[in-house]
Amino acid sequence: MKMMDKAEKCLDPQLWHACAGGLVQIPPLNSKVFYFPQGHAEHSNGPVCFMASPNIIPSFILCKLTAVNYMADRYTDEVFARITLVPLKADDFDLDDDWPKMAHQNHEKAAKSSFAKTLTQSDANNGGGFSVPRYCAETIFPGLDYSSKPPVQTIVAKDVHGESWKFRHIYRGTPRRHLLTTGWSNFVNQKKLMAGDSIVFMRAENGELCIGIRRAKLGGFGGGPEFGVGQGLKGFDDADGARKVVPESVAQAAALAAIGRQFEVVYYPRASAPEFVVSAYSLSHSMKVQWSSGMRFKMPFETEDSSRISWFMGTISLVQVADPIRWPDSPWRLLQVLHHTLNRTLENNAYQA
């Protein structure tokens, strides 16, 4: 492993997944995936002009995923992935059927050893304390010696950049509860956290405690094409934001993909935009379903505190091609659905069901 950091360091994939959330999965190395230029465009922070290249970009391109860099924004700690794809010939489409077994590894390990909490007003604003949910303290934090009075210890947690943060962890109050006191206020200020943001604690395989951040999504639930990626986070000048997915890089990726050459894409899992690099295995399975109006489905989503996965129940109201002129035959945004309880029109990708 040579000096590979040109100011861009990778981070522990397990921590990356813990920060990305339970629903994000990156297909395994060397597996086959579909790349959707259309979805990539929705991921960008502006309208994409595909004109630079001959108007022959397909709506989806079969590729081999040859590399993944798990990374984090230098300023916001937001996680993202740099994915290298090599287009395959269409007749290479024999599925690697064994990937579901291996795909969920980091994923499940992250879920088991991590815990997320959305910051309350008291956590974020008040005099510098963080109320630690009992489950988190007991399963993620180092063991506390309850015999001392009061039980107290210093915990050290590494952020996505490998920087260490110290917190005083104390068990006190009536009724007793776990709190982070000294050090927490500093962390909140340095990371510019606000009520509504979440923090993730994870116990790494080497036993080290890690701490990650999930900024609150400003756009509320779901998002859609109307929300770009670079919507800007409060309190940050757009230093790194400028480096987020720009339309030019989408056009370039699509152009390279179309002529069969290796290309790179940057994927922000928490940007409320759908995945545009999709495992060929799962897509081919969902395409076998004959989606039709009136059909019911359920779709997983994260609860606010990321502690569980809940399910949306819905009914398909319309099966249509999103942009029949530009992208005929595209499975992208094929379904328009009616959500049962919120009675709100959502958009969804076929393969997510």
Could you list the residues that contact DNA (CB under 7 A)?
117, 120-123, 126-129, 131, 133-135, 150, 168, 170, 172-179, 181-182, 184-186
Shortest distance (Å) from residue 298 CB to DNA = 19
Shortest distance (Å) from residue 163 CB to DNA = 18
- 105 vs 120 by CB, closer to DNA: 120
Q: Nearest 5°: CA angle at 201, between 241 and 221? A: 55
Quote the tokens at residue 296. Answer: 């019911």
Shortest distance (Å) from residue 146 CB to DNA = 13
Q: Nearest 5°: CA angle at 201, between 196 and 207? A: 175
- 185 vs 352 by CB, closer to DNA: 185
Shortest distance (Å) from residue 132 CB to DNA = 7
Query: Buried b / exposed e across 70-105, counting CB within 10 Å, b at 16+?
Result: bbbbebbbbbbbebbbebbeeeeeeebeebeeebee
Shortest distance (Å) from residue 147 CB to DNA = 16
Shortest distance (Å) from residue 115 CB to DNA = 10
Q: Do 140 and 203 form a contact (C-beta atoms < 8 A)?
A: yes
Q: What residues contact 21, with CB distance under 8 A and at least 6 apart?
A: 116, 214, 269, 270, 302, 306
Shortest distance (Å) from residue 203 CB to DNA = 18
Quote the tokens at residue 241. Answer: 């934001």
- 176 vs 261 by CB, closer to DNA: 176
- 181 vs 317 by CB, closer to DNA: 181
- 309 vs 318 by CB, closer to DNA: 309
Closest CA to 297 of 249, 334, 323, 265: 334
- 48 vs 116 by CB, closer to DNA: 116
- 139 vs 317 by CB, closer to DNA: 139
SS3 annotation, 284-341: HHHHCCCCCCCCEEEEEEECCCCCCEEEEEEEEEEECCCCCCCCCCCCCCCEEEEECC
Closest CA to 277 of 62, 73, 46, 30: 62
